[in-house]
Amino acid sequence: MRAVRASQALRSLLTSPETEFLLEAHSGVSARIAEEAGFRGIWASGLAISAQCGVRDHNELSWTQVLEVVELMVDATSLPVLLDGDTGYGDFNNLRRLVRKLEQIGGAGVCIEDKCFPKTNSFIHGERQPLADVDEFCGKIKAGKDSQTDPDFCLIARVEALIAGWPLDEALRRAEAYRAAGADAILIHSKRADPLEVLAFAAAWKRRAPLVIVPTAYASTPTPVFRRAGIALVVWANALIRASVAGMQRVAGRIHASESLLDVESDIAKLGEIFRLQGADELIEAERRYAPSARARTHALILAATRGSGLEAVTEDRPKVMLTVAGRPLLARLCEAFKGEGVHDIHVVAGYRAEALDASGVRVLENREHASCGELRSLACGMDALGDDAVVLYGDLLFRPYILRDLLRVASGDFVIVVDSAPLPAHGNRNDLAYCSAPDDRALYQTGVELRRVSRESTWQGRHPDGRWIGMLRVRGPGIDLLRQTVAALERREDTARAGMPELLNALVEQGAAVRVLYVHGHWLDVNDLADLERANAFAGGSPAEGSAA
């Protein structure tokens, strides 16, 4: 609900002792832009609305088509919208329907001009356009006023006599008749390059009713001149449609010539700005409130930028994640695992041999600094893909489906990592030893265990590790922001700029974040060397699992 009704707001602009301004808008987004610029009201220009539809300002749009645009504008802004209603789209009866419909959709008022339907724009042979009969036009004004139910709805009568080449007297005669018929204000239009006839009209009019002007032809007139003349409302009637046309022409030409977006990217609005103008954030908020399950869609981010030392013999032409295990690439297996759990929003951060990454149904992000930076850089590249809830994992993992399922469905907390409590195998890397708040007690269904440290040290604070982090992290809710900030902070520090995921987990713990532990007992493996690849083939092929995949 608007605090002040739109019609009231428009009326107070008309009756304010100051000169006020309306800006043309022709769409929801242009209306919102006008509001953000500081305008207090909108001119729903017939010229601009028809132009944005690619048709002439000649009543080629039906009045209901015009109203559809007006309704979108009303919805998009809290400002009063004054419709440039041409001649009222017909006789008095058409105007009555227009007024009622406008009220229904929240329009604040209508301006009608004393020409004949179909009219054409005043700047196209304005002198040749016949004026309406004064009595008939007065009848139309009365009909319009009689059919409004909101007392503040404004009906403005536009005098086209000067445009059509009639003298000042005729313009004054008409204006007075329209005022007497009930018009709330008079719009006096002129196509002269100077404001003289409008000023002469204003002087003779003596503020009998608020005066509205459209200084398109006499745009060089300083605005104080209008203030001094007592003009109530100045309408900047076509600036936004002209701005958008000029912008679109420039950009379309450059894209066509360069066959690229690169030249224009810095001159056009960022997508984020479009989303902001559309109110995308509000929808995210609303989804949280009304459809939390829809919002809680989990994303997957696969870190797959490295070649993998120990696998050089088989990664000459492809990244590790494209290695084939039991007939299918590791990446395809991971995607299948995620999709099987309903996680369809999958991003993979590529680096080494990114071009060889062949993945349908996943989006590829690139870490161009993969050779010189650590995993943090890859994670930073994928940060925007995390949404509100994500599983981040290494691309060389193979695991039984229940591990991901439990991580998605059972584990709770802003951060959850999967830790394998099975005895450490003789083979495999030991960078990710996990020290936790409690060891895995397989007789209990533990949910409250937290990570204390991930380390390659085989003891920490005199204790043995509780297991091995398998390279799978779930992060969600407020955890996403903390993750983002922590990655940024680590990247800023010289000693941690090239760090990996273990340093990140430790930094989170050191800041007091609760990193929950989901214990598993085997049933996974990672591929670090050729022997692992062998094991992976057996694991994926269904042979009795070895090592940590026991």
- Residues 6 or more apart whose CB falls under 8 angstroms from that of 363 comprise 346, 347, 348, 385
CB-CB contact of 156 with 183 (8 Å): yes
Residue 122 interaction partner, one of ligand SPV, Mg ion, none, beta carbon < 5-8 Å per kind: ligand SPV
CA torsion 117→118→123→128, rounded to 10°?
A: -70
Which residue, 72 or 538, has its beta carbon nearer to ligand SPV?
A: 72
Residues paired with residue 389 on neighbouring β-strands, in sequence order:
476
Binding residues for Mg ion (CB under 5 A): 46-47, 84
Residue 129 exposure: Cα atoms within 13 Å on the Cβ side: 24
Cα angle at 470 between 467 and 475, to 5 degrees?
110
Which residue, 103 or 160, has its beta carbon nearer to Mg ion?
A: 160
Q: Which stretch binds ligand SPV (CB under 6 A): 41-49, 68-76, 501-509, 511-519?
A: 41-49
Which residue, 54 or 222, has its beta carbon nearer to Mg ion?
A: 54
Cα angle at 479 between 478 and 485, to 5 degrees?
100
Report if residue 548 touches ligand SPV, rule: CB under 6 A.
no
Q: Which stretch binds ligand SPV (CB under 6 A): 43-51, 337-345, 462-470, 488-496?
A: 43-51
- Could you tell me the smallest distance in angstroms from the CB atom of residue 297 to ligand SPV? 45
Enumerate residues 268-297 that contact ligand SPV by CB under 6 A.
none
- Could you tell me the smallest distance in angstroms from the CB atom of residue 113 to Mg ion? 7
Tokens representing 79? 């400002």
The sign one gets for the Cα dihedral 9, 14, 17, 23 is positive
Residue 238 interaction partner, one of Mg ion, ligand SPV, none, beta carbon < 5-8 Å per kind: ligand SPV
Enumerate residues 44-63 that contact ligand SPV by CB under 6 A.
45-47, 57
Q: Which stretch binds ligand SPV (CB under 6 A): 42-50, 197-205, 247-255, 354-362?
A: 42-50
Which residue, 80 or 319, has its beta carbon nearer to ligand SPV?
A: 80
Residue 421 interaction partner, one of Mg ion, ligand SPV, none, beta carbon < 5-8 Å per kind: none
Which residue, 47 or 199, has its beta carbon nearer to ligand SPV?
A: 47
Give one DSSP letter per residue of 96-122, joined into a string. HHHHHHHHHHT--EEEEESB-SSP--T
Place of tokens 């000693």: 495
Q: Which helix (H) or strand (E) holds 184?
A: none
Q: Which amino acid is at 121?
A: N
One of 237, 300, 449, 475 touching ligand SPV (CB under 6 A): 237
- Could you tell me the smallest distance in angstroms from the CB atom of residue 245 to ligand SPV? 14
One of 122, 244, 367, 528 touching ligand SPV (CB under 6 A): 122
**Calpha distance 70→390 (Å, rounded):** 41
- Could you tell me the smallest distance in angstroms from the CB atom of residue 160 to ligand SPV? 9
- Could you tell me the smallest distance in angstroms from the CB atom of residue 111 to Mg ion? 8
Report if residue 238 touches ligand SPV, rule: CB under 6 A.
yes
CB-CB contact of 483 with 513 (8 Å): no
One of 148, 190, 216, 548 touching ligand SPV (CB under 6 A): 216
Give the residue from 256, 399, 384, 412 showing the smallest Cα distance to 333: 399
Question: Which of 57, 114, 396, 440 is labelled catalytic?
Answer: 57
**Calpha distance 119→113 (Å, rounded):** 9
Burial code of 404-421, b = ≥16 C-beta within 10 A, e = fewer? beebbeebebbbbbbbbb
Report if residue 121 touches ligand SPV, rule: CB under 6 A.
yes
146 noted as active-site residue: no
Which residue, 51 or 504, has its beta carbon nearer to ligand SPV?
A: 51
Report if residue 147 touches ligand SPV, rule: CB under 6 A.
no
Report the Cα–Cα distance between both ends of the chain, in Å, rounded.
Answer: 63
- Could you tell me the smallest distance in angstroms from the CB atom of residue 196 to Mg ion? 23
Residues paired with residue 22 on neighbouring β-strands, in sequence order:
235
- Could you tell me the smallest distance in angstroms from the CB atom of residue 4 to ligand SPV? 25
Q: What are phi and psi of 263, to 5 degrees?
A: -60, -30
Enumerate residues 66-95 that contact ligand SPV by CB under 6 A.
84
CB-CB contact of 389 with 411 (8 Å): no
Q: Which stretch binds ligand SPV (CB under 6 A): 40-48, 193-201, 307-315, 369-377?
A: 40-48
- Residues 6 or more apart whose CB falls under 8 angstroms from that of 67 comprise 83, 98, 101, 102, 105
Please give the positions annotated as active site.
57
- Applying CB under 6 A, which residues contact ligand SPV? 45-47, 57, 84, 121-122, 214, 216, 237-238
